């Protein structure tokens, strides 16, 4: 299937500091592209992969699960680690959950992580029925474009495939047990008004990780897809400052790259 316009993966070769960006469940790189462009303009090497089953049609997601999504970001991370001196990982929603697992598994090879409205649990009371429901109901209404800013739209699916939702639920349950393995510096930005992920998910993540260098920021003007919302520029600036604080070479590399 052809990729939806705007949902294409993105890669920019910059300096020796790299950033991997992970998009969300049923979403696409489009929700992260302005963030990626901002980081690339500062001279960073940026990788923004398209997760398997995403960016085409929701039926394609039925054939994928969390192992496929995680394998893709793990591949992209290893590619960055081969070419960069320092690598950071940023994630939105499920991309935040994928970021946390990368951090738990790769340890000190990741210099820091940035999470925007990360998901920790599927709170829908019907979620417990997904193992059965997925065989009878193929999809439920979509969750894309939860954005406060008028005129801003997310390129994502208008349906949620139940088989994929079941896989996501199993992934989040497993990840919750791995959160204490996360030790990297962490910047977490979340929206008090989020109609997709509960703010309590961020609270639980902060309580479970072992990171000691932690910054929590509220995105008061945005809904779930905050990277396309009123607080987008704040996310971009704060995340770049976070990288700059933790990267000794950033000033030299940025200057060398014209950033």
| Catalytic sites, residue numbers | 93, 194, 224
SS3 134: coil
Distance of CA 207 to the CA centre of its chain: 19
Closest CA to 115 of 144, 91, 151: 91
The token pair that represents 225 in the structure block: 């897809």
DSSP tally for the chain: helices H, then strands E: 9, 9
> What single DSSP character describes residue 197?
S
Q: Check: CB of residue 97 under 8 Å from CB of residue 91.
A: yes
Whole-angstrom Cα distance, residue 22 to residue 44? 16
H helices within 209-249, ranges in order?
232-246
SS3 190: strand
């Amino acid at each position: 299937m052809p990729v939806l316009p705007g949902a294409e993966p993105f890669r920019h070769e910059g300096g020796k500091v790299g950033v991997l960006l992970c998009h969300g469940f049923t979403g696409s790189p489009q929700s992260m592209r302005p963030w990626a462009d901002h980081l690339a303009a500062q001279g960073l090497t940026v990788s923004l992969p398209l997760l398997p089953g995403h960016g085409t049609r929701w039926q394609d997601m039925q054939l994928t699960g969390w192992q496929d999504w995680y394998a893709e970001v793990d591949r992209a991370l290893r590619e960055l680690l081969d070419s960069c001196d320092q690598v950071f990982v940023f994630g939105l929603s499920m991309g935040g959950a994928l970021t946390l697992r990368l951090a738990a598994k790769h340890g000190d090879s990741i210099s820091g992580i940035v999470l925007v409205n990360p998901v920790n649990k599927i709170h829908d009371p019907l979620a417990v029925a997904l193992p059965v429901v997925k065989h009878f109901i193929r999809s439920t209404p979509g969750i894309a474009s939860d954005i406060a800013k008028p005129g801003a739209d997310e390129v994502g699916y208008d349906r949620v495939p139940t088989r994929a939702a079941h896989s996501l639920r199993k992934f989040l349950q497993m990840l919750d047990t791995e959160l204490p393995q996360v030790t990297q510096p962490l910047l977490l930005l979340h929206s008090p008004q989020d109609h997709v992920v509960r703010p309590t998910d961020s609270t639980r993540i902060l309580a479970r990780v072992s990171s000691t260098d932690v910054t929590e920021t509220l995105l008061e003007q945005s809904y779930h897809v905050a990277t396309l919302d009123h607080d987008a520029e704040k996310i971009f600036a704060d995340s770049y400052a976070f990288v700059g604080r933790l990267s000794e070479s950033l000033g030299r590399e940025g200057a060398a790259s014209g950033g």
